[in-house]
Amino acid sequence: MGMPDNGWMVMMSFRRDNSVVKERLKAGTVRRIAGYARPYVRELVLFLALNAVAAVIVVANPLLLKAIIDRGIVQHRTGLVVGLAVAVGVLALFDAVIGLAQRWYSARIGEGLIYDLRTQVFDHVQRMPVAFFMRAQTGSLVSRLNSDVIGAQRALTTTLSSVVSNVISLILVLVTMLVLSWQVTLIALVLLPIFIFPAKWVGRRLQKISREQMQLDAEMGSLMTERFNVAGAMLAKLYGRPEEESAMFAGRAARVRDIGVVSGMYGRVFFTALTLVASLATAMVYGVGGSLVVNGSFQLGTLVALATLLTRMYGPLTALSNVHVDVMTALVSFDRVFEVLDLPPMVAEKPDATPLPRTGEAPAVEFDDVTFRYPAAAEVSLASLESIARTDTAPSREVLHGVDFRVEPGGLTALVGPSGAGKTTITQLVSRLYDVTDGVVRIDGQDVRDATLESLRDAIGVVTQDAHLFHDSIRANLVYARPDATDEELVEALRAAQIWDLVAEMPDGLDTVVGDRGYRLSGGEKQRLAIARLLLKAPSVVVLDEATAHLDSESEAAVQRALKTALAGRTSIVIAHRLSTIREADQILVIDDGRVLERGRHDELLDRGGLYAELYHTQFARQERADDVVPAAAPQA
């Protein structure tokens, strides 16, 4: 399937917009994060309890050192020194065990949250309409499932544990220092304001830089995704523009590099300043405390304990001064994930939807006064997923106007008309890739909007002019249509699609890998595999969107023979460019400017001398002799 008939309008509506890096967090983000933490409450409680114990150990060590000096070394009590030294070692071992337990719970919670978010986002994106994927860049979507999800989980592991352990450590350290010497503690706190004011300024600045970094990373990822697939790489080679591609990538990589340098320097300068302040405070403590020890007002062990505690006070203080940045980074990541989850699918199943009836017979397909316009950008996409551009907010124009027709059960209706007339749009409404703006599309008398999506997918089979194959084996691509199919059924479908002889000659047979998007196969081979996949699915309604376009005569002849099998006994709607298909149609609809201008059979429409007659003389007449000769003369696949 090519670009929809209004695809050029989508392309023309793009305009530059860098405002996505300036958005603020939405209300209720924190409350939603708490909902994701609920399944891990028990692990979180144990994790935070371990962090609290680790914080207590931070204070216990300096106090043991104080006792070793004041009660052991100064008083020449060797036994006490040895006993307390053993206690320090045991405490270190206990701390190591707690560290391992902390890491296990952190990984358990973090990886669990990553799994929950990734699967939810993937499932939600799978339900989005085709219009969403036409606008969103693949690299930006992948970024949401990778870097943003990982950034989000840090809110419940790294950031949360850091806040809890550092707050407890800071409180215990300050209380202990005040007990040991409130005078020295107050002196150490004199420089505290130097921590607070820079932290607030740098926090705001780094929040903006963090969001911009995420956006630039997504843009670079999108460029790589587009250029590294087969079609993108081939286009660059065919047009001989590798230097320009390299320059474009270098430009984006340079922006990522530059903002990384800015972010790193902000953080480093801030950390250096805080370390300097901590060093000055330590010097003050040693200067004042040392003088008191010399004068006999202070014990040496107390001074050592205070100096050690001071270093353990400025560590948590430094971390807490940066916690705003860490929290905002995690919240921004969550916000970007929620942004995707909050975008509702335009094509959704009704709560009271019922399956299409399975009668075993081909159903009728009916369009009843159908009007349609493609959705505007804001209805289906996000500006942040269109990383280098944003769509206009103006609504798109109407592309179908009062379309009325009926395809009888088992009948073949051919759609013809100039490019951009609305043919592809009509076929997309049958399979409910979009919902009509007004009017009704019915299958077997039932509005497709009232049918379950599963029954709709089971009933309709589609083959487009550019059949997509996954980078997997032929077998895997076929059973995608019917997972329980046996090898015998696969072979039968391949025979009917006129391609089994070719597959049988391949060294790996059904296990032959077709390559990215099937590029290891020719166009005709891909189309016949797509038809085999459709036959395996065995739908009651078949939609063909120019399935033989752009094929050589031999491949087209083989595909045409396969299509006859695919259409037999099924209700079919075909966008046709071959006269042989058109002449066999029970009904020809001539589409122009979103309207059905003419309808009838081939000879009837020729006699009227309208648009069909004009199309026949300009496009179809020269095929008449070829259609009579080539299918019969073409060799079997």
Nearest to 389 by CA among 401, 381, 379: 381
Q: Is the pLDDT of residue 443 over 90?
A: yes
Tokens 């002196």 — which residue? 187
The residue with greater pLDDT, 142 or 553, is: 142
Q: Around Cβ 75, how many Cβ atoms within 10 Å?
A: 10
**Which DSSP state fits 535?**
H
Give me the pLDDT at residue 367, please.
95
Among 253-257, 395-399, 560-564, the range of highest mean pLDDT: 253-257
Phi, psi (deg, nearest 5) at residue 492: -60, -45
Side chain identity at residue 220, one-letter code = M
- Max Cα separation, the chain? 121
* pLDDT interval class at 22 (50, 70, 90): very low
When pLDDT is cut at 50, 70 and 90, the band that residue 388 belongs to is: very low
Q: Which two tokens stand for residue 522?
A: 């020719």
Phi then psi for residue 278, to 5 deg, are: -60, -40
With a pLDDT cut of 90, the percent of the chain lying above it is 14
DSSP 620: I
What pLDDT is stored for residue 3 in this prediction? 41
DSSP string computed for 332-397: HHHHHHHHHHTS--SS---TT-BPPP--SSPPPEEEEEEEEEPPPHHHH--GGGSTT-EE-SSPPP
- End-to-end Cα spacing for the chain: 24
DSSP of 412-446, one letter per residue? EEEEE-STTSSHHHHHHHHTTSS--SEEEEEETTE
Most confident of 186-190, 266-270, 437-441, 629-633: 437-441
Task: Calculate the average pLDDT of the chain.
Answer: 79
* Alpha carbons within 13 A on the beta-carbon side of 549: 15
Name residue, tokens 């009843």: 368
Confidence of residue 66 (pLDDT cuts 50, 70, 90): confident
pLDDT in tens, 87-112: 988 988 998 999 899 888 888 888 88
Please tell me the predicted confidence (pLDDT) of residue 195. 60
C-beta contacts of 309-313 below 8 A and 24+ residues apart: 309/59, 309/62, 309/173, 309/176, 309/177, 309/180, 310/177, 310/188, 310/278, 310/281, 310/282, 310/285, 311/278, 311/282, 312/58, 312/59, 312/62, 312/169, 312/173, 313/170, 313/173, 313/174, 313/177, 313/188
Residue with tokens 């959704």: 348
pLDDT of residue 555: 65
pLDDT at 192: 67
Strands 595-600 and 587-592: antiparallel
- Burial readout 115-141 (b: 16 or more C-beta within 10 A, e: otherwise): eebbeebeeebeebbebbeebbbebbb
Q: What are phi and psi of 489, to 5 degrees?
A: -70, -35
**Least confident window among 51-60, 133-142, 467-476:** 133-142
Q: Which of 31, 268, 53 is nearest to 161 (CA)?
A: 53
Q: How far apart are CA 212 and CA 256, in angstroms?
A: 9
- Encoded tokens for 258: 């530059």
pLDDT digits (tens, 9 = 90+) for 161-191: 778 888 888 888 888 888 888 887 887 777 6
* 353-369 average pLDDT score: 89
CA distance 383 to 377: 8
Residue with the bigger pLDDT between 565 and 197: it is 565
Q: Which domains does the chain have, with CATH numbers?
A: 7-341 (1.20.1560.10), 397-633 (3.40.50.300)
Which residues are registered as beta bridge partners of 592? Answer: 595
CA neighbor of 38 nearest in space, from 150, 124, 116, 148: 116
Kindly state the average pLDDT of the residues 116-135. 82
d(CA 453, CA 288): 78
Which H or E run contains 515? none
Is residue 429 predicted with pLDDT exceeding 90? yes
